[in-house]
Amino acid sequence: MPVQRALMAYKTERLNCAQSVLRAFQHQMGVPEHAVQQAKQLGGGRAEEGRCGALHAALQLSGDEATRSKVLGAFVERAGAAKCRDIRQRQSLSCAQCVELAAALLVEHHGGTTKGEQECL
């Protein structure tokens, strides 16, 4: 269900990639609305280190370092890179596919059922 919510947020609410992932897990993980709104500045490769915003949001919600590492590794394996610019140049995934992948990996590796760490958002 979070994967579908992420895609709906991206396509229907017209949120950016980072906001869409946060919105998808907002209720399950206790993501405050202000964090979703602040993530507006993280789309289009403006997340830390030029990282994909969807990936950045998923990493922030991952909780512990082991989960972050799994999510990052699986994302890079599928997308070919962690940086937005590199993903776009390779044309390996569209932005919507990055949102879908990040949300799916978070569900797979974290479960998305407990409150995550929000301090970095």
Identify whether 119 is part of a domain.
no
- Write out the chain's pLDDT in tens, 121 residues: 999 999 999 999 999 999 999 999 999 999 999 999 999 999 999 999 999 999 999 999 998 999 999 999 999 999 999 999 999 999 999 999 999 999 999 999 986 544 433 333 4
Q: With contact defined as beta carbons under 8 Å apart, do 121 and 39 qualify?
A: yes
Distances (CA, A) of 80 to 23, 34, 72, 85: 25, 31, 11, 11
Residue 60: domain span: 2-110
Query: Which among 69, 37, 34, 38 has a CA at the least distance from the CA of 55?
Result: 69
Identify whether 67 is part of a domain.
yes
Provide the token pair at 109.
């590796």
Radius of gyration of the chain from its Cα atoms, rounded to whole angstroms: 12
**Per-residue confidence (pLDDT) for residue 63, from 0 to 100:** 87
**Per-residue confidence (pLDDT) for residue 120, from 0 to 100:** 37
Type of residue numbered 71: V
Domain count, the chain: 1
- In DSSP notation, 83-100 reads BHHHHHHHT-S-HHHHHH
**Per-residue confidence (pLDDT) for residue 111, from 0 to 100:** 65
Identify whether 120 is part of a domain.
no
Identify whether 69 is part of a domain.
yes
Identify whether 83 is part of a domain.
yes
Identify whether 99 is part of a domain.
yes
